[in-house]
Amino acid sequence: MAKRKLEATDLFKIQSITNPVISPDGNEAVFIRTEMHKKDNKYYAYLYHVKIETSEVTQWTHAKEKVSSPKWSADGKQLAFISNRDDKNQIYIMSAKGGEAKQLTKFEKGVSSFIWSPCSKKIWFSASLKDGRSWTDEAEEKEDKLPEAYVVDNMKYHNDGVGLLPKDTYRQIGSIVIASGEIKAFTEGTFNHSLQAISHDGKKLVMGVNRDESQDFSFHEPMLLIDIETKKESVIIEEDGHFGGATFSSDDQYIAFGGMLHTFKNATHAEVYVYEVSTGKLQILTEGIDAPVGDYAGADIQQGANAPDVVWTNQNHLYFQLSTMGDVRLYFASLDGEIYPASPENEHVYGYDIARNGTYALATISNTIFPGELFKLNLATGERITITNFNEELINEVELVEPEAIVYKGLNDWDVHGWLMKPAGYQEGQKYPLVVEIHGGPHTMYANTFFHELQLLAAQGYGVLYVNPRGSHSYSQHFVDAVRGDYGGGDYEDIMAGVDYVLKENDWVDEKRLGVTGGSYGGFMTNWIVGHTNRFNAAVTQRSISNWISFYGVSDIGYYFTPWQIGTDMTNIDKLWDASPLKYAANVETPLLILHSENDYRCPIEQGQQLYITLKAMGKETSFVRFPQSDHNLSRVGFPNLRQTRLDQITSWFAKYL
């Protein structure tokens, strides 16, 4: 039986399998399955249990809710998780034998994160709290409240996906006794605290806190080791940069964590750090690897994926993710410097946990024609056992196109890596249109992972070219940093060299039917391309940047991201304008569809509005689609119906002009 072509609505059939967590004894585990519910227009995430020996899978929660952050108690008898079934994210707890979950917290603003105490009788948590209030206060009455003015005092006052930040509210750390519900505050003050780790002896806590009086240009959060009884603090690291995911070794002698300095601002490679508790010595375990620690892959189906920064075994060995050459692989490291890959090439390990004895891993893995499932990996032999098959029916039903990996020479004779997909149903001797996709970031990457949007374009009869130009992660520090101060320069040349390479090597590509699209940075680059060449016949720009001058003041990150990436601020308007696609609007001859979310605080909708009105006034072929109640992440976690609308708009535009 012939397979059918993939459709936009198949997005609703893809199951996202994430967050495996192994029990302390290694005999069982839990994970999360997320689905997009078309009728309710929501995402639901369910908790599942698996017996390791038999791979028997059982669904543990069934309510229409979003479950996240499952964690076993130290004695393995209980499981806690965060759920939004009570509107806000709250902690729930259940027996490891199954049964109904009990709500543990009822905080007005919900819970940010939590960690079990080693005694298994108490849970530590971090939650937002208004200054002067306690978690035991009754919730404020908000019904029929008159609108109030929002007085802005700081430059960091709004965030994409959040909106205006709550006034006089700070993230604090506390603990709650499970049996009695007694709550004790651990931190106080007008600062945000992040809960990182608790030692196995229950005596020490790791937290992050930035106590700078003004934090507008403060880009660090010192990581501190706290004596729980005396509250005496020791600094683990306080460099400019981002650090987190701390975890104690089983003997409490070491603390491992992930993080990046600001040497190259947000283009700096992340590393694995190890802190020796007794001496205060700090080493960078991965400094010999010229690739970033962590998962930098861009995709559109892995909802709720949240992998640990680093995991210890009882032998004081560590495992972590590494983004390398378009892959996200699991890596092993020892404290004496031994480091090697623990998973193969050509795939995306987007979630994992390691058995404490170091014998096996549970990992959620995807590749270009496989949406992702849960596997058990034998860490000694590499053998793997498939545990889940939630996406098997869809895979067997639809025709998927396996991309061809390509390498070509970009500007300065640099190697540029990417992928080329032939159209679904490709027939030798026929000519096909080609769509060029450009990722966001720019410091992310296309990877060997499943991407529904790319498969959909192939199913619609397009070849698809997607590459990692300079500025992309997973190659080298020099490569990822090379885009800063050169937007529209070498990155543009790398992408266009990819088009030239594909046209030269593939006679099935119709050079008179070329399309281009991308979002965020990819939207900027789409705008830039159509202002600098007329070789494309259709373009779709999404959540884009068109004007760096206005972006500086309206984006939630504009005032620092702009100088980081463009190399200047409002003191040099000419340089900002020269790097703005809007400056070149008069050159645009390519029909351009502009897609933008109305609640996008990262690349605010005025960026799309400016471009649309300017092009329209010039008599250019353009259209503008606005997505209500949506932010910068529409294509990944937005309302399901609007995600489908977005895909329909893209494919309709290309169908019209290609």
- Residues annotated as part of the active site: 520, 632
Q: What is the DSSP letter of 138?
A: P
Please give the helix or strand (H or E) that residue 592 lies within, else none.
strand 592-597
Residues 4, 396: contact at Cβ < 8 Å?
no
> Exposed (0-12), middle (13-18) or buried (19+): which is 153, by Cβ within 10 Å?
exposed
Given the DSSP bridges, would you call strands 317-324 and 327-334 parallel, antiparallel or unpaired?
Answer: antiparallel
**Count of CB atoms within 10 A of residue 637's CB?**
17
CA-closest candidate to residue 207, choices 241, 259, 169, 245: 245
Q: What amino acid occupies position 275?
A: Y
Given the DSSP bridges, would you call strands 384-386 and 4-5 parallel, antiparallel or unpaired?
Answer: unpaired
| Cα 559 to Cα 551: distance, rounded to the nearest angstrom | 8
Residues 157, 558: contact at Cβ < 8 Å?
no
CA-closest candidate to residue 82, choices 66, 106, 61: 66
DSSP per residue, 374-388: EEEEETTT--EEE--
DSSP per residue, 305-367: ----S-EE-TTSEEEEEEEETTEEEEEEEETTS-EEESS-SSSEEEEEEE-TTSSEEEEEEEE
Q: What amino acid occupies position 61?
A: T
The residue ranges of DSSP E strands in 96-202, in sequence order, are 102-103, 113-116, 122-130, 158-159, 163-164, 169-177, 183-185, 193-198
DSSP per residue, 464-522: EEEEE-TT-SSS-HHHHHTTTT-TTTHHHHHHHHHHHHHHHH-TTEEEEEEEEEEETHH
- Enter the tokens of residue 182: 């007694």
DSSP per residue, 256-292: EEEEEESEEEETSPPEEEEEETTT--EEETTTT-SS-
- Enter the tokens of residue 618: 């010039």
Q: What is the DSSP letter of 458?
A: H
**Count of CB atoms within 10 A of residue 429's CB?**
6
Q: How many helices (DSSP H) and strands (DSSP E) are in the chain?
A: 11, 41
